[in-house]
Structure 1
Amino acid sequence: MNKKSQSRILNRVLIELKTYSFKIFISLICALATVYLTLRIPILTGQAVDCIVAPGQIDYDRLIQVLKIMTVTIAATFFTQWIMNRVNNDITYSVTKSLRDRAFVKLQHMKLSTVDSHPHGDFVSRIVSDADTFADGLLMGFTQFFTGVLTILGTIYFMLMISVKIALIVIIATPASLLLAKFISERTYKFFGEQAKLRGTETSYIEEMISGKNIIRNMDYEDDALERFELMNDRLADASMKATFYSSTVNPSTRLINNIIYAAVGVFGAIMAIGGGITVGGLTSFLSYASTYAKPFNEISGVITEFQNALACAARLFEMIDAEVEVDEGETTIPEVKGEIQFNDVFFSYDKSKKLIEHLNLNVKSGQRVAIVGPTGAGKSTIINLLMRFYDVDAGEILVDGVDIRDLSLEDLRSKFGMVLQETWLKNASVRDNLRMAKPDATDEEIIEAAKATHAHSFIKRMPYGYDTILSSVGGSLSQGQMQLLCITRVMLNIPPMLILDEATSSIDTRTEQKIQSAFNKMMKGRTTFIVAHRLSTIREADVILFVKDGSIVEQGSHVELLQKNGFYAKLYRSQIENC
């Protein structure tokens, strides 16, 4: 990332912090008080030393008074520093929480094309790891940067009060530390950005390997998976090593320069003390200030390095927060849905350089069962994606009861459809809570009735805690067919006016499928239904069967009519019958 982009991200971070202006002001006041009180201690130490003139010549009254003031000063320093740290933590984790919340909200409404084009583990890495890294860098900035800058300014002031000549030695040598820190920090940002990106890729790969563990073992792919992981891990280790190496050189490099300055102050100050230009107590105070003056540079250089990492992670978070939402929402609603759907000269493709759907025209009457069949990649599921506005058409229009779906609110449009997909999804919750997603106020009796209708009740009762058994997002010990039955039950619990069944029974055995067919028929009665299926025996009763090829409807009619045409559908149907 170039300097312009880095500056833009920094400005964005400052805008995020604007909400917390009052707390930042409190933090600055506490930092100022902490620094002032801390810098008073070397002065008091010098005064205590000067109370000891020679053996047997000690001003005890003055020494005790100085020690009392020192005790109060140390206690006050502890109190102001505690308040500062408390406020800084509150600011940092409030900002991080806000960014995490907004990133997750955006993920729920992000364009599916954006989600599909990124490894899913990368989003996990951004919301979890990158947010944590940003918080660490921001906290270091508040805690050490404020106090560091104030300490430097305060130390210069106190050193000038003691001896202008010695102070000039320290001040003149200061730019060397700053230039060195700047030189190194500019090189660390690149590697920290690469580290964050590679960490997201590796997280996604690990997630992919865990979800496909059975296939990996079945295909004897463990060694290949390990080899790919090692390559990724080597690249991440290399980027991390470079970032760590450059960042770790800042502190010892600036410390070397500051130690040289400290030695010069000691030698020059001792010469002045011998000549009576400064007291021993004054020299003691000055050496303490010289050491204190060097320390913030080391801390600030570390903060700058860490902040480079934080900015790189912030850039990834902001990129996610700024991503386009899926579609522009309309405001129209359809109070009473009839279920009449039209596709008028629709064009669409995922990759605009490759044609998919062209001149798609379709007129579905209310209550019709429309089956969509065809070879893999023909565009069957794409038609469903367009109908649900997961993607928008490139040209043409889709109407529901005469209203363009782009004019409908997404909530209203999608609430009118019930979907059962081939890809099953369950959340980490009990069976009961998973089913209640369709109808939050459903009673236990309604849940059990729906489960019995789909023949899911019997295997649910055999689970360790029945309907209270906790499921994982991948189903845990459930088979794919059982997971699909739960998804069907979920829709059955609250049947909307229109249905989409995309390979809804693909993982269910033929016998169970036949058992729940009556429930399906009851569910579909009077409702406009789209059925995507490869198993043609399941769609013979459809009112209209569409054979889709290369994004176009090449045949249309009932099961009997299409068999009589002896075209694409008839050939596909006979090939399935022969293979049974």
Structure 2
Amino acid sequence: MASTTGNAFDLSLFKRLLSYTKPYRLTTIFVGVSAILIAVVALGMPYLIKVSIDQHIIPQEFEGFDTVIYMMIGVLMADVLLQLSFIFYANWLGQQVIRDLRTKLFDHMMGFKMKYFDTSAVGKLVTRAVSDIETIASIFSEGLFVIISDLLKMIVVLGFMAFSSWQLTLIALIVMPFILYATRLFQKAMKIAFEEVRNQVSNLNSFVQERVTGMKIVQIFNREKVEYQHFKEINDKHRKAWIKTVWYNSIFFPIAEMSSSIVIGLIVYIGVIMNIGSEFRLVEIGTIVMFIDLSQKLFRPLRQIADKFNTLQMGMVAANRVFKILDTDSRIEDNGTLIASNLKGDIEFKNVDFGYVENELVLKNLSFKVNAGQTVAIVGATGAGKSTIINLLSRFYEINAGEIVVDSASAKAYQLESLRAQIAVVLQDVFLFADTILNNITLKDESITEEDVITAAKKIGVHEFINSLPNGYHYNVKERGVMLSSGQRQLIAFLRAYVSNPSILVLDEATSSVDAYSEQLIQDATDIITKDRTSIVIAHRLATIKKADKIIVMDAGEIVEMGTHHELLQKEGGYYKNLYEVQFLQQEVA
């Protein structure tokens, strides 16, 4: 992988990036051939100008001059067509590569463990998937092939110059070592500068994304001025990083331009000196004019190569960041061979240990069993480990020790996709996409029709609520479902779980912020979708607890009590009885 050192180029990273052009080999070859032809055609116009001056203008011989003019037009048209083909297909190739790379990156990220997203800023991941990959496209459209074309042009021009006049060629090469050395220093400095630019772009994107998402908190706690100052600091760092690249450019390009002008002056001066006092012209006037043009074609690509190398460096830095994510091994192990279909719903946790952070266990030697068709409520204080059980059952995280068994087979023995297809989860924090209610329910699963959704909605009692919205099931709820209340979002989540027809249902109930009408609908929906189906409920409501076949009471990652509602209330001084009297009984009184 490329590092953040001043190394100008990382060949292994470059080769890896080029491997993505293999499906488009013919296009790559065509672009390369176009680059060669452009280099050859570049000689046409200077040579024809030389012929015009030496054979027609100076000797006042205009027979055949119109042929030279037609040849100039032909060379010009060929150059235009080659440039058009080169630019179009180089850009086309770049877009094909980044499409494939972005698809691969997104697919790779979707398979990451939840732990990866717990520790990675969303804004930075968005930067990698969008702007960084877009920057990689410039490697092909403005960097790699343009550099190849310019290098070929320089080689061809230099060879032709040496063939035409080795004396003037030596003059043209006087400043070449200096320019090459300056270019090398420039490339190294720009590599470091562009790495800093990409860092600051990521920080800026991450900051803006988080503050826009959490704008309600910012405004509730009057943090606007503080966040504004923080943004100004980050934005200023971004500006300084870019100013550094501008500073390097402002030094290099005037030096390169001055060197080119010095060469032109020397060619004219030495060319004239070579003809003074000589009986025969050592250098023809047309050759001097041709060398002036050719020296520009020699030094202009060199300046452009430095400029395009900036683009290439920027793309390489972006590629380095993207490949770091692609090389991240943070996927849940999926070596199972069993297909989970129509599970009975028996679940057993056997001596399970788990921690989100190393050496900090959230669940400790956890063991319990849920029989098929049972509804089990899990209660306990915040941080007791209730939601963690949900995450582990769906294999969003790997357990540290123990085993989770589903229908007499280890959860790891099932193919991950098939296992998750049998488990539906309704989380406390309902997430809805900026799409229609129908698409948020089906998640665009073609096997679930609109008629299926309507039938299911009528069964659990939410059809009237959805139908009352503008456009009904085709109502767009906007980003994160902001057009709906928390209770309405919860009902949509219940319907989404129900239409998937899961063997195991997991509910993280949340009704503390919903109105009484929505709460009654949610309770009715809960009764319907949990009937004859294995259900694990993180209980926040008294009604769910009373109806549960079994209640698991947790504290600090351990099961402290287990039994039915009636059994647990019989335990004098019991944890559940105390919790019931302090928390749940207050709900009943209210």
* Pair 1:515-2:552 in alignment: no
User: Residue 303 of structure 1 aligns to which amino acid in structure 2?
Assistant: K
The equivalent of 1:110 in structure 2 is 112
Q: Distance in 1 between matches of 2:252 and 2:542?
A: 69
The equivalent of 2:33 in structure 1 is 29
Q: Secondary structure at the match of 2:403?
A: strand
Q: Distance in 2 between matches of 1:515 and 1:296?
A: 72
From the superposition, tell whether residues 241 and 536 of structure 1 become closer, same or farther in structure 2 (CA, over 3 Å).
farther
* Pair 1:301-2:306 in alignment: yes
User: Residue 6 of structure 1 aligns to which amino acid in structure 2?
Assistant: D
Q: Secondary structure at the match of 1:61?
A: coil
Q: Secondary structure at the match of 1:540?
A: helix
Deviations 1:457-510 (CA, angstroms, capped at 9, x unpaired)? 333233222222222231132122211111111122232111000125454334
* Pair 1:40-2:44 in alignment: yes
From the superposition, tell whether residues 399 and 321 of structure 1 become closer, same or farther in structure 2 (CA, over 3 Å).
same
CA contact (8 A) 1:480 1:507 kept: yes
Q: Distance in 2 between matches of 1:227 and 1:549?
A: 42
From 126, 130, 135, the counterpart of 1:124: 126
CA contact (8 A) 1:420 1:504 kept: no
Q: Distance in 1 between matches of 2:457 and 2:207?
A: 36
Report which stretch shifted further, 305-314 or 268-277. 268-277
User: Residue 363 of structure 2 aligns to which amino acid in structure 1?
Assistant: I
Q: Secondary structure at the match of 1:555?
A: strand
Q: Secondary structure at the match of 1:539?
A: helix
CA contact (8 A) 2:349 2:403 kept: yes
Q: Secondary structure at the match of 2:151?
A: helix
CA contact (8 A) 2:460 2:528 kept: no
CA contact (8 A) 1:273 1:280 kept: no
From the superposition, tell whether residues 561 and 5 of structure 1 become closer, same or farther in structure 2 (CA, over 3 Å).
farther
Alignment of 1:221-236 (within 5 A): 221-236=223-238
User: Residue 213 of structure 1 aligns to which amino acid in structure 2?
Assistant: M
CA contact (8 A) 1:88 1:142 kept: no
**TM-aligned CA deviation for residue 537 of structure 1:** 4.4
Q: Secondary structure at the match of 2:10?
A: helix
Deviations 1:185-224 (CA, angstroms, capped at 9, x unpaired)? 1122222122222222221222222222222222212112
Alignment of 1:129-140 (within 5 A): 129-140=131-142
What fraction of aligned residue pairs are identical, expressed as a percent?
Answer: 31
From 317, 320, 326, the counterpart of 2:325: 320
CA contact (8 A) 2:53 2:286 kept: yes
TM-score relative to the length of structure 2: 0.93
Alignment of 1:76-475 (within 5 A): 76-274=78-276, 275=278, 276-329=281-334, 330-437=336-443, 440-475=446-481
Report which stretch shifted further, 107-116 or 253-262. 253-262
Q: Distance in 2 between matches of 1:296 and 1:84?
A: 16
Q: Distance in 2 between matches of 1:139 and 1:350?
A: 44
**TM-aligned CA deviation for residue 517 of structure 1:** 2.3
**TM-aligned CA deviation for residue 539 of structure 1:** 2.0
Q: Distance in 2 between matches of 1:472 and 1:272?
A: 78
CA contact (8 A) 1:417 1:498 kept: yes
Q: Distance in 2 between matches of 1:161 and 1:401?
A: 83
Q: Distance in 2 between matches of 1:65 and 1:4?
A: 48
CA contact (8 A) 1:262 1:290 kept: yes
Report which stretch shifted further, 30-39 or 427-436. 427-436
**TM-aligned CA deviation for residue 53 of structure 1:** 5.1
Cα RMSD, aligned residues only: 2.1
Report which stretch shifted further, 239-248 or 552-561. 239-248
Q: Distance in 2 between matches of 1:136 and 1:435?
A: 40
Report which stretch shifted further, 87-96 or 259-268. 259-268
The equivalent of 1:65 in structure 2 is 67
Deviations 1:542-577 (CA, angstroms, capped at 9, x unpaired)? 111112111111111111222222322222221123
Q: Distance in 1 between matches of 2:461 and 2:432?
A: 18
Alignment of 1:478-497 (within 5 A): 478-497=484-503
Report which stretch shifted further, 104-113 or 497-506. 497-506
From the superposition, tell whether residues 174 and 536 of structure 1 become closer, same or farther in structure 2 (CA, over 3 Å).
farther
Q: Distance in 2 between matches of 1:212 and 1:168?
A: 65
User: Residue 126 of structure 1 aligns to which amino acid in structure 2?
Assistant: R
Q: Distance in 2 between matches of 1:314 and 1:30?
A: 26
**TM-aligned CA deviation for residue 428 of structure 1:** 2.5
From the superposition, tell whether residues 496 and 24 of structure 1 become closer, same or farther in structure 2 (CA, over 3 Å).
same
Q: Distance in 2 between matches of 1:172 and 1:331?
A: 70
Deviations 1:355-402 (CA, angstroms, capped at 9, x unpaired)? 222211111111111111112122111111111000011111101011
CA contact (8 A) 2:116 2:330 kept: no
Q: Distance in 2 between matches of 1:352 and 1:162?
A: 73
* Pair 1:533-2:539 in alignment: yes
From the superposition, tell whether residues 397 and 254 of structure 1 become closer, same or farther in structure 2 (CA, over 3 Å).
same
From the superposition, tell whether residues 440 and 16 of structure 1 become closer, same or farther in structure 2 (CA, over 3 Å).
closer
The equivalent of 2:10 in structure 1 is 6
CA contact (8 A) 1:326 1:391 kept: no
User: Residue 42 of structure 1 aligns to which amino acid in structure 2?
Assistant: P
CA contact (8 A) 1:23 1:91 kept: yes
Deviations 1:383-438 (CA, angstroms, capped at 9, x unpaired)? 11111000011111101011111111011111111111112122232222222228
Q: Secondary structure at the match of 2:570?
A: helix
CA contact (8 A) 2:348 2:405 kept: yes
From the superposition, tell whether residues 305 and 442 of structure 1 become closer, same or farther in structure 2 (CA, over 3 Å).
closer
From the superposition, tell whether residues 140 and 116 of structure 1 become closer, same or farther in structure 2 (CA, over 3 Å).
same
Q: Secondary structure at the match of 1:526?
A: coil
CA contact (8 A) 2:267 2:288 kept: no
**TM-aligned CA deviation for residue 125 of structure 1:** 0.8
**TM-aligned CA deviation for residue 243 of structure 1:** 3.0
Q: Secondary structure at the match of 1:554?
A: strand
* Pair 1:568-2:575 in alignment: yes
CA contact (8 A) 2:38 2:83 kept: yes
CA contact (8 A) 1:456 1:482 kept: no
Q: Secondary structure at the match of 1:363?
A: strand
**TM-aligned CA deviation for residue 241 of structure 1:** 2.0
CA contact (8 A) 2:90 2:140 kept: no
Matched residue pairs, number?
578
**TM-aligned CA deviation for residue 283 of structure 1:** 0.7
Q: Distance in 2 between matches of 1:424 and 1:507?
A: 13
Deviations 1:16-59 (CA, angstroms, capped at 9, x unpaired)? 334444322222211111121121110100111123455xx521
CA contact (8 A) 1:342 1:400 kept: yes
Q: Distance in 2 between matches of 1:342 and 1:485?
A: 29
Q: Distance in 1 between matches of 2:233 and 2:534?
A: 51
TM-score relative to the length of structure 1: 0.95
Q: Distance in 2 between matches of 1:86 and 1:240?
A: 29
